[in-house]
Homo-oligomer: A and B are copies of this chain.
Amino acid sequence: MENLFTRRSNASDIFHAIRKAPGISQREIVLQTGFDKSTVSSIIGAFHDADLVEEVERPAQNRRGRPSKGLRVSQASGILVGVRIEADEVRFVGSALDGKPRFRRACRFDGSVDDMQRIFVREIDAIASDPAAGSPLLAVGVSVPGLLRADGVLVHLPVLGWRDVALLDRLASAVKAPVFVGNDGKAGAMAERMFGAGKDGGDFIYLFSGSGVGGAMVLDGQVYAGADGLAGELGHIKIVPQGRFCSCGASGCLSAYLSEPALCEEIGRLSGDRPEDFATLRARAEAGDPSTLTVLESAGDVLGTAVSSLMNIFNPNMVLLGGDLSLARPWIEAPMMRALQRLAHPAMAERTGIRFSELSAQSPFLGGVALALDGVTGRTATNETARMAGEADNEEA
């Protein structure tokens, strides 16, 4: 009954078991994951061939024992690049297989698809040919704050007004490295599952705010994709009937009350002085500005309303709040908890731990790295052909 999908998912579990416990033995991996010995052995073989893992000496377990071999993630096997497309910048993060950032770059662009692609190709080519960046370049993961279909077509990216862009085709055909693309909510949840609050396993709901509000559901250990890969648009749950207009085209969405532009706009209307971005907003909150505190209080209430709906729908172990929601914790947590007490069923509220992402503050752009790493482990285990320029060229030749 093992299919490609299961094998990809098992590969990811096995890789992260090794990443989290350097020196782990194959036998321990079998016990920990519950997978067949043959499955574990075959996937680790593929990882070895691709140089993703390496052997390491384990100290003897007891006095009479001999040192044995364990596994760890390869220390010098190349880099992953995470890319994030934002309203006016394209950001790049380089990381080794352990997920720890090694370098960061941000490049402004003019908001067009062509300019984004030009910058993407320039930077990825530069990274790939720079020995100091760490080589080889294993994979590139690109996260976008918009509706991205499973076939790699960007259906709608509100902050840039893009519609129906063949994103994967355009990027993957332009560079000589495997490219993986994903919605930023799903990529963020994947990063939390690999490196953050979700790493101990278990289902959770991820909700974050930035230029918009997004999220993802990790159900039965996997990011739930839905029919076309579009599931998880938690920022577009309807909160207020006939409410504020939203960048998605509808009205009354959570995002229209909780995104960075929505909060800044509301503070501007109240005070006559619109903060230019979330950093300014936060500085004002720290200084005790009354309009800012009023708006954040109300945002916490709206957030609690949305989270109570999510609890009643999913009965999750954890709701994880990331991005600006995590940074605004000092001001939104109390009103959110009051709304939850009023609106969530007590049996649901009792179960669900509400957590604020620490990854959001420390490593805010790891989503792309998570996409790249998930792509590499999955591809290695299944011998899938990723879409990249080199391979396409060969086929055409």
Contact = CB atoms under 8 A, between A and B. Distances in A.
A252 interface: yes
Interface of A is mostly: loop
A386 B225 CA distance: 35
A143 to B, nearest CB: 18
A351 B217 CA distance: 19
Contacts of A227: 203, 315-317, 351-352
A343 interface: yes
A176 B147 CA distance: 54
A347 interface: yes
A95 interface: no
A10 B225 CA distance: 22
A125 B293 CA distance: 64
Contact of A238 (B2, B34, B220, B343): B343
A236 B149 CA distance: 29
A238 B305 CA distance: 7
Contacts of A34: 1, 3
Interface stretch (A60-68, A166-174, A243-251, A362-370): A243-251
B343 A228 contact: no
Contact of A220 (B36, B220, B305, B345): B220
B39 A251 contact: no
Interface string A300-330: 0010011011001111110000000000000
Interface of A: 1-3, 6, 10, 34-36, 39, 147, 149, 155-156, 203, 217, 219-220, 224-234, 236-241, 248-252, 302, 305-306, 308-309, 312-317, 342-348, 351-352
Nearest 6 pairs of A and B residues by beta carbon: A226-B315, A231-B315, A230-B315, A233-B312, A236-B312, A237-B309
